[in-house]
Amino acid sequence: MALAAIKGDRTVAELASQVGVHPNQIYNWKKHLLDGAASVFEGGPVAEGTASEAQVAVLYRQIGQLKVENDFLARRLGK
């Protein structure tokens, strides 16, 4: 999806509706791809460690966002 967003053939809104995610998620994926693209061509453990740490940070952020959304929905459904 990030690659499709970079190509610009379709809008971010179209891509987001295609996969069922919020457009901000597409923007996050695109930013992550652009920030980490250079490290793909760099070798060595430093590049791998940095990419891994960045990926873990993104995943923790997504987990936090999903937890907030789940808590919100649980409160709404409980009423």
For residue range 30-46, list pLDDT tens digits in order: 888 888 877 767 665 55
What is the pTM assigned to this prediction?
0.48
For residue 48, pLDDT over 60 is answered with no
More reliable by pLDDT, 21 or 37: 21
Determine the average pLDDT of the residues in 6-33. Answer: 88
Cα–Cα distance, 48 to 25 (Å, whole number)? 23
In b/e form, how buried is each residue of 9-42, taking b as 16+ CB within 10 angstroms? eeebeebbeeeeeeeebbebbbebeeeeeebeee
